[in-house]
A and B are shown apart, each in its own frame.
Chain A
Amino acid sequence: MNRFALAFRLPIIVWQGLFFLGPLFFMIAMSFFLVKNYRMEEAFELKNWARMLTRGYVWDSYWYTLGMASLTTAAAAMLAFPAAWVLAFRVSEGVRRWAIFLLIIPFFTSYLVRTFSWYVILAESGVINAGLGAAALGPYTMLNTPFGTVVGYLTLTLPLVVILQTVSLANIDQNLVQAARNLGCPPARALFAVTLPLAKTGLIVAALFCFILSFGDFVAPYYLGGSKPPTLPILIVDTTKSGQQWPRAAVVAVMMMTTLFAIAATAIWLAYRKRVSA
């Protein structure tokens, strides 16, 4: 690496070192600290780990969070794909640009505000139940349920997943799809044998972002899920709120980071894995 290349990379290396690796190592170290009289004291004790890993509610939260993030990822990928496919292959360049611009607009407003706006729609006296009521259905409880949590997660992630899938699909060389079709490949098979493998990297990265954002989100499970049951981010907040137990919260955070590292590494490996020819 020459000096110029290093100089260009230096800012991001310094940034990541200062604001990601540094805090990460501190958080890991903090998980071994102790709290006395509401004050954290430096130590190297395994008590926090032993306590948190033997608590049933920690594992309940862990599996619930993992399950909800996985469900949201699957739902987002499937809901986004038809829209992304249409935007990539069935509309003009101009329409696609406008669509992507419109998909970016939700990010102009605070995620918390967008989440609270669902109250008007999902409440038992809200828009959906009013519509269902006109058809003599409901009311159905949607707020403070896992369904509400997923709605919140999708509010955060779905526009991003559509954008990433659209960009990924739009970059496919259409000649390859046409060649498959010309050689007699049915549309469904062309989709699974040509389009999806070619867009694989982008689709997996989109899903990965969706998982990461959902797994670490506090807002949706708290405000739309009613913290019932709590996810790991809520558990972290609960743990810090009572008794200043930042070290125990750090244990939960390390559990989350480890899970995210494992899933991200697997996803990246799948995304860039070369297909082995028969």
Chain B
Amino acid sequence: MFLAASHISGLHTTTNRQEVAILNEQVNQTRRKVLAATGAAALSAPFVGRAWASTIEINMLAWYGHGEPDIVGAFEEANNVKFKPKYYAGGDNMLALIAQSPPGTYDVILSDGEFVQQLNAAGYIEPLDPNDYPFDDMLHDDFMKFPGHWDGDILFSMMVRFGHLGVSYNTTAISAEEAMSYKCFWKPEVKGKVGHFDWHLPSLGMMSLYNGNGAKLWDLDDAAWEAVRERTMSLRPQVGGFFDYGGTFNSLKNGEMLAMCGIGDWITGVLEKDGAPLASVIPKEGGIQWTESYCLGKGSSKADIVKTFIQYMLSPEGQVKSAQMAAYPGNCITKGGRAALVATDRAEAERTNQVDGNPMDPITLIKDGRIHYRNIPVNQTLEDWNDFWSEYKNA
């Protein structure tokens, strides 16, 4: 019924150094440098005749926050465009919104990395030209040919940011040492105070990691899937609630929940910056990466300005805005972006460990094999996982 998940995992294996090298060769260095500067140019160059030109509306489909002034305001001003964002929560929600809309409704689509392949298979997105984007400036080789973003040599989505999910906790209730294992969710002192972000994929992925499945966390045979379900059910007495973004945010802020399963710095970071005693770490069993990527909507008549916008978001300026995003922070994916973040907001760079040489540097964690890209189940359907999630919530 669903796309064979094994096909997706197969794409992981196609990501190898040889292909990356070929890809690098494809990218013209001179052109690349010019393009890398496009973001800055997009903002600094006054738009001649702008006063007489009508504003172009760009329909965006994205997670909340991506169409807000702190991200797109400067770009709108410089390019005489206006974003009309439609926000979703979760990849399925995104697919539903696109499926219900005629082609051309959305010019630019921000997708979770693991859903790009579904977008492509359903024919909802247009190819992108790899030469338009700074692939040689990526912080990690995997980002050059991210799983599911390419179909052969055709690029369908451009990764712009990422973050890691692990143990999110209240530092007054759980120590930093305890937080280094998912075991802390079972700590008697937090009984009834462990919350879940209400989405089965990250929470069950974490249970799978705690069961020692490591890189095979999504590739579970029947026995491993049964073990994950048992492990998850054993956590149920500890659980105080299941929350969406707002509920997660509030329950952590007011101390109703002291630990949260299924999230990471993308939520606690906002509260931490506000002074709340919260933190997120990647435990020893490993963490999960969320990845956000921009796609050009099928049938869009605004491909040029969408390309400029994606270039802007990959420029150092755009990457810094993404890292400082008011709704939820995301890590830089380019070297230029990281350098700009360190130069302009050292405190945020250090808070999120985006400093070269930091042992908890998100790139180091990926290289060390402690991070696993979020995926959909390989041997079960999403419905199987959702069914269990409903059972779990009712237990």
On A, residues with C-beta under 8 Å from B are 35-40, 55-58, 60-61, 64, 116, 119, 123-126, 141, 143-144, 222-223, 225-230, 235, 238-246
Closest-CB distance, B124 to chain A (whole angstroms) = 10
Q: Could you tell me if B386 and A243 are in contact, using CB atoms closer than 8 angstroms? A: yes
Q: Is B22 an interface residue (CB 8 A)?
A: no
Chain A positions within 8 Å of B92 at CB level? 38, 240-244
Q: Could you tell me if B2 and A226 are in contact, using CB atoms closer than 8 angstroms? A: no
A39: contacting residue among B122, B199, B200, B240, CB under 8 A:
B122
Q: Could you tell me if B118 and A116 are in contact, using CB atoms closer than 8 angstroms? A: no
A227-B256 in contact given A39-B122, A244-B95 (Cβ < 8 Å): no
Q: Could you tell me if A60 and B394 are in contact, using CB atoms closer than 8 angstroms? A: yes
Chain B positions within 8 Å of A244 at CB level? 92, 95-96, 99
Q: Could you tell me if A123 and B247 are in contact, using CB atoms closer than 8 angstroms? A: no
Interface string of B77-118 (1 = CB under 8 A from A): 000000000000010110110010000000000000000001
CA–CA, A228 and B3, complex, Å: 32
A243-B383 in contact given A36-B1, A222-B244 (Cβ < 8 Å): yes
Q: Could you tell me if B386 and A242 are in contact, using CB atoms closer than 8 angstroms? A: yes
Closest-CB distance, B89 to chain A (whole angstroms) = 8
CA–CA, A268 and B393, complex, Å: 35
CA–CA, A61 and B192, complex, Å: 21
CA–CA, A143 and B242, complex, Å: 12
Nearest B residue to A59 via CB reads B394
A57: contacting residue among B2, B96, B240, B394, CB under 8 A:
B394
Chain A positions within 8 Å of B383 at CB level? 242-243, 245
Q: Could you tell me if B390 and A57 are in contact, using CB atoms closer than 8 angstroms? A: yes
Closest-CB distance, B189 to chain A (whole angstroms) = 14
Given A38-B118, A58-B390, 16 new contacts (CB under 8 A) = A37-B122, A38-B2, A40-B99, A57-B394, A123-B255, A124-B255, A125-B254, A141-B192, A144-B251, A225-B241, A226-B240, A228-B242, A230-B394, A241-B93, A243-B2, A243-B382
Closest-CB distance, A60 to chain B (whole angstroms) = 4
CA–CA, A246 and B243, complex, Å: 22
Q: Could you tell me if B254 and A227 are in contact, using CB atoms closer than 8 angstroms? A: no
Chain B positions within 8 Å of A123 at CB level? 254-256
Nearest A residue to B93 via CB reads A241
Q: Could you tell me if A144 and B394 are in contact, using CB atoms closer than 8 angstroms? A: no
Chain B positions within 8 Å of A125 at CB level? 254-255
Closest-CB distance, A59 to chain B (whole angstroms) = 9
Q: Could you tell me if B99 and A39 are in contact, using CB atoms closer than 8 angstroms? A: yes
A116-B240 in contact given A39-B99, A239-B386, A241-B92 (Cβ < 8 Å): no
Chain A positions within 8 Å of B95 at CB level? 38, 244
CA–CA, A57 and B233, complex, Å: 14
Closest-CB distance, A14 to chain B (whole angstroms) = 25
9 nearest interchain CB pairs?
Answer: A226-B241, A242-B386, A144-B241, A227-B242, A57-B394, A60-B394, A243-B382, A123-B254, A229-B394
A143-B390 in contact given A228-B240, A241-B92, A242-B92 (Cβ < 8 Å): no
CA–CA, A66 and B239, complex, Å: 23
A119: contacting residue among B3, B241, B254, B389, CB under 8 A:
B254
CA–CA, A41 and B383, complex, Å: 17
Chain B positions within 8 Å of A229 at CB level? 393-395
Q: Could you tell me if B240 and A61 are in contact, using CB atoms closer than 8 angstroms? A: no
* 10 A-B pairs in the complex with CB atoms less than 8 angstroms apart: A36-B1, A37-B3, A40-B99, A61-B394, A123-B256, A125-B255, A226-B195, A226-B251, A230-B242, A243-B92
Nearest B residue to A242 via CB reads B386
Interface string of B357-394 (1 = CB under 8 A from A): 00000000000000000000000011101110111011
Name, among A39, A123, A124, A242, the residue most crowded by chain B CB atoms within 10 Å (CB to CB). Answer: A242
Q: Is B198 an interface residue (CB 8 A)?
A: yes
Q: Is B28 an interface residue (CB 8 A)?
A: no
A-facing residues in B184-204 (Cβ within 8 Å): 192, 195, 198-200
Q: Could you tell me if A222 and B390 are in contact, using CB atoms closer than 8 angstroms? A: no
Nearest A residue to B95 via CB reads A38
